Amino acid sequence: MFYLAYLKAELLRRWGKTAIITFGLAIASAIIITIISTSQGLSASQEQVLNPLENVGTDIMVTRSVETEKMGDLDETTRTELMSENRISTDLSKLGKAGESFSLDTFLAGTMLTFASEETKKLTSDLAKEYATGLILNVTHQEGKIPEITAEFQTGPETFQVPDVAPLTDAERAAVDAARQKAMADLQAKGIDPNSDEGRKAVRDAETAAMPERFKNRQFTAPSRTFRQTLDAPETDIKTESYTIAGVDTTKKAIGLILPSQITEGSYFSGNNQVIINLSYAQKKGLKVGSSITLNTTLDSEKVTKKLTIVGIVDPKLYTNTADIYVPLSDLQTIADKAGRINIILIKAPDASSVEETSSKVAGLFAGVNVTDSNDTASQVTGSLVSAASLMNRFIGLVSIIVILASFIIISLITVFSVNKRTQEIGTLKAIGWKNPSIIRQIFLENLVIGIFGAILGVGLGLAAIVLLNQYDITFTANVASSNTGQDFMPFMRRFAESGNDTPTAANLKLDIPFDYLILLLGAAVAILGSVVAGALAAFKASRMKPQEALRQL
């Protein structure tokens, strides 16, 4: 048809205008696609941190955490329990002989006090659709050589003098015998057997009385003397470091401290004596799947050693209660001497709309617990991620409107200006018989085709921008107020351990901008709508031209 051939000729003949308008619409479309896609990526990352409980399939977290700033307000029972669960007692004499190497791991609850796992029987089906338990502990690791501790005492030479006593004379011996005989005769006269206890004592007293003065004993007490020596501290190479360990309820796969889907390398637990390590801890210590970790402790004064094999590396998503290493719950309860004890419960509410109500009911079931849900975790998050997401959410609408209006105005002006330059052409077409509908259709179709080209190019540019931004590995930091294994308690323990961090947990999240077909269609629609608006204005302008105007300009 003629108008289609004419349409093609006009677009090619005026290629400069076609290229400018097409590129302008494409830029507007690409900006809209990039802004909205980036906003979605930020929102998705923010949701991971604002509601970390959802990342591990749960809605509510129950702990018995204690704030160290409020220790003075604790009752005596809780204070005693807190100190008992964080007592470090290292008896080197039970770890070997002096000079031998030793390794010892002490498990501390920190400010997350433990409670009996039987407490979970209170969670009925109307309160918990599903739940998982866990045990998170601080580990103080000590290793080195057992020092030798000696004390040396020295006293001066002492001289003892004993007098040289002359033996009994015959007369003195006869006197002693006479005294013995007399005593025996007196006893017999009284009817007392001289060989009885009473008789022998009487005979002995008579003999002693008859002995010469030089044979009698004299009693004296030597003065007491105290020996005291100050011992220097023993030379030792004992090194101390701390890390965190968590016992995972391996019977649950959809809820727990870590999930199988969060394993980045290796596999999830498939038996006992296995360990999964945190990705950051693996990088710090140079550990990998197949390596082993050995735990050494004392139970009932007996040395206990447990060798664990690393079966997986995990990138945990429960940012407020992460650990360096994860083991099956039963293994940790055994090695830490905490049989039947836990200090965290993760609960999945029966219904998403009943989380707040369930939280209140759960808080009333357990004495002295802290119940945390998504509202609590959201209020504890700060950092560049939150700032960027807040800024994007605040200005995304305004920026999008400005971009759309600016592009529409510029494209419309260019299009109308182009129509003005075609006055002679349009007037001539009317003079040879073209009606206004034909003129409007021609101008409108030209702009619609340009809009389609702009939409296609805009989608391509938008996709390229998303790929480029994802390639740059843009990361944001989210600081989560830490309730992590009671690290706040560790300043009290620094006399025993070198570490102890009470700073917030920092989560570094990579910005992942998604490809969303609806957003791509929206960007394309912006380009097409811009061309339609500009085409409508240009067509209206062209329809008002008169053939006489064109003829006057010949």
Give per-residue pLDDT as tens, 272-303: 889 999 998 999 989 999 999 999 888 877 78
Domain boundary among 368, 393, 425: 368
| 268 and 313 belong to one structural domain | yes
Asked if residue 402 lies in contact with residue 409, where contact means CB atoms within 8 angstroms, the answer is no
CB half-sphere exposure, 219, CA atoms < 13 A: 0
| 204 occurs within a structural domain | no
Domain boundary among 368, 397, 414: 368
| 316 and 401 belong to one structural domain | no
Of 57 and 276, the one with more pLDDT: 276
User: 137-141, 392-396, 412-416, 437-441: which has the minimum mean pLDDT?
Assistant: 392-396
The position carrying tokens 């309860």 is 333
| 270 and 387 belong to one structural domain | no
Distance CA 16, CA 10 (A): 11
DSSP letters, 308-369, are EEEEEEE----TTS--SEEEEHHHHHHHTT-TTEESEEEEE-SSGGGHHHHHHHHHHHSTT-
Q: What is the pLDDT of residue 394?
A: 56
| 134 and 243 belong to one structural domain | yes
Amino acid at 316: P
| 195 occurs within a structural domain | no
| 153 occurs within a structural domain | no
Convert the pLDDT of each residue in 318-362 to its tens digit. 556 788 999 999 999 999 889 999 989 988 888 767 778 888 888
| 216 occurs within a structural domain | no
The token pair that represents 352 in the structure block: 């998403």
| 344 and 469 belong to one structural domain | no
Distance CA 540, CA 88 (A): 87
Distance CA 184, CA 190 (A): 10
| 92 occurs within a structural domain | yes
Q: What is the pLDDT of residue 541?
A: 67
Residue 265's pLDDT band (cuts 50, 70, 90): very high
| 95 and 138 belong to one structural domain | yes
For residue 445, give the nearest of 7, 56, 19 by alpha carbon.
Answer: 7
Residue 283 lies in domain: 65-145+238-368
Q: What is the pLDDT of residue 485?
A: 45
Phi, psi of 404 (to 5 degrees): -65, -50
| 159 occurs within a structural domain | no
| 425 and 536 belong to one structural domain | yes
Written in H, E and C, the secondary structure of 381-443 is: EECHHHHHHHHHHHHHHHHHHHHHHHHHHHHHHHHHHHHHHCHHHHHHHHHCCCCHHHHHHHH
Q: Evaluate if residue 131 carries a pLDDT over 60.
A: yes
For residue 524, give the nearest of 43, 36, 4 by alpha carbon.
Answer: 36
Q: What is the pLDDT of residue 8?
A: 59
Phi, psi of 431 (to 5 degrees): -65, -30
Asked if residue 102 lies in contact with residue 146, where contact means CB atoms within 8 angstroms, the answer is yes
| 354 and 404 belong to one structural domain | no
Q: What is the pLDDT of residue 86?
A: 73
| 486 occurs within a structural domain | no
Domain boundary among 342, 368, 394: 368
Q: Which residues, listed in sequence order, are joined to residue 60 by a DSSP beta bridge?
A: 347, 373
Query: Can you give the C-alpha Rg of the chain in angstroms?
Result: 47
Q: What is the pLDDT of residue 266?
A: 93
| 169 occurs within a structural domain | no
Q: What is the pLDDT of residue 492?
A: 40
The position carrying tokens 């000729």 is 9
| 121 and 246 belong to one structural domain | yes
| 289 and 438 belong to one structural domain | no
| 395 and 336 belong to one structural domain | no
Please count the structural domains in the chain: 2
| 390 and 461 belong to one structural domain | yes
